[in-house]
Amino acid sequence: MNGIDLLPLAVGHMIGLGAVGSCLGVGLLAGRFVEASARQPEMMEPLQTKVFLLVGVLDGAFIIATGIGLWFATANPFRG
């Protein structure tokens, strides 16, 4: 087997591990936000904007990895 044959496996890992990491990050972030807002309700509004910003960054990293993986899968730049 050469590298071209392993490309679908690499693309699947890139998309799958990116999705798992993003889901874990968003879940941990949301859980900590709920804990923080339960302890100090007056900090809920300032923290909410930061939480949405960080969720966007986490999802953005996953979407970029998915785009690069699909680019490699359809228009393989490593093929001769």
Among residues 29, 44, 59, 73, which one is catalytic? Answer: 59
CA distances from 67 to 40, 51, 64, 70, 72 (A): 39, 24, 5, 5, 9
Check if 5 is active-site: no
Name every residue whose Cβ is closer than 8 Å to that of residue 35 and which is 6 or more positions away in sequence: none
Catalytic residues: 59
